[in-house]
Amino acid sequence: MATAIVATEYGGPEVLASREVEVPAPGPGEVTVEVRAAGVNPFDYKQYSGVFGTDPAALPLRLGVEAAGVVTAVGEGAEGPAGPIRVGDEVALRGAGTYATALNVAAQKVVPKPAGIGWETAAGVLATGSTAVHALAATTVRTGDTVLIHGAAGSVGSLAAQLAVARGARVIGTASPSRHERLRAHGVEPVAYGPGLADRVRALAPDGVDAAIDTAGTDEAVDVSLELVADRQRIATIVAFERAAADGFKALGSGPGGDMGVEIRGRAWRELFELLSAGKLEVAVVATYPLAEAAAAHEFVRSGHAGGKVVLLP
């Protein structure tokens, strides 16, 4: 048996509860992972908020899409993207129902955790990091580009900014002034959002902005991106799906009309773990909560003030 967090109905964090669940022996191509840490993402609370529908047949709804832990059992033919998986391997994974003390998962969703990377970091990088990698690929960010990233202090925005810097781009990132020093430490030129944003960005980049990545989802972020970037195919959002459809730029992710980028996201772990191991990428884990306090973790993330990654610890 394992303990898992489920949504018992649709609503707010108050609908979350702990339940004992069976973890059977892994089937062919599966492994069992004892979870040491599970990442929290906005998608998690959107699942039970009603954004994606309110099918009662889906309840109780298991939550979580990323985790890190230790393999405790291996099914026949269990081989991941890096090769065969063995009992005792320390791994990171993407899959459904990761808010749990243990779970079964397809081996193809399991990758080795480098020894020098902590559980919280490994649990918090795959979902946000793969989204960041996808955003850079979609906007074709390359050496010498000037890139505007909205929400550059958030969990996805921070990784996108750092990855862009690592690729040789100049990055201008929007954030509240209290987070500007952290952006500077990552090689990002910070700018405050709010009235006059376009003019402040122009002052920093008089020769223009080549690409823009929106992780904030505000009309301001979209409007400024459209104003400053000439090629709309080099503008991407992970939030503002309706604006993307209306204004002709790229939407990335599971929203209406979004590009899932399955192949790009599926191989992003190699770049992410390589840079983490080399000390060239930082996952800002701003808070950890016991698994049983998942509702409190969701309240914090939903507040919009996390400014980094939140992780659950079973």
Instruction: Please state, in angstroms and as integers, the Cα–Cα distance from residue 199 to each residue in 170, 191, 225, 231, following that order.
Output: 18, 11, 12, 19
User: What pLDDT was estimated at residue 57?
Assistant: 93
Residue 204: band (very low, low, confident or very high) from pLDDT cuts 50, 70, 90 = very high
**DSSP string covering 92-142, please?**
EEE-S--SBSEEEEEGGGEEEPPTTS-HHHHHHHHHHHHHHHHHHHHTT--
- The pLDDT of 269-294, averaged and rounded, is 96
pLDDT at residue 40 in the model: 97
Structure tokens at 285: 């884990």
How far apart (Å, rounded) are the C-alpha atoms in residues 254 and 243?
15
pLDDT interval class at 277 (50, 70, 90): very high
Which domains, ranges and CATH numbers included, belong to the chain? 2-113+284-313 (3.90.180.10), 129-251 (3.40.50.720)
Q: Which residue has the tokens 């750092």?
A: 162
| Banded model confidence at residue 114, pLDDT cuts 50, 70, 90 | very high
Which pLDDT band, with edges at 50, 70 and 90, does 51 fall under?
confident
CA angle 106, 109, 115 (to 5 degrees): 120
**Residue 176 · residue 238 · CB < 8 Å:** no
pLDDT for residue 286 is more than 80:
yes
- State the pLDDT confidence band at 120, using cuts at 50, 70 and 90: very high
pLDDT at 287 over 90: yes
pLDDT average, residue stretch 170-180: 96
Alpha-carbon gap, residue 262 to 96, rounded angstroms: 16
CA distance 292 to 258: 33
- How much is the pLDDT for 182? 94
Q: Confidence class of residue 303 from pLDDT cuts 50, 70 and 90? A: confident
216, 193 in Cβ contact below 8 A? yes
**pTM of this prediction?**
0.93
Percent of residues, the chain, with pLDDT higher than 90: 94
Residue 30 burial (CB count, 10 A): 24
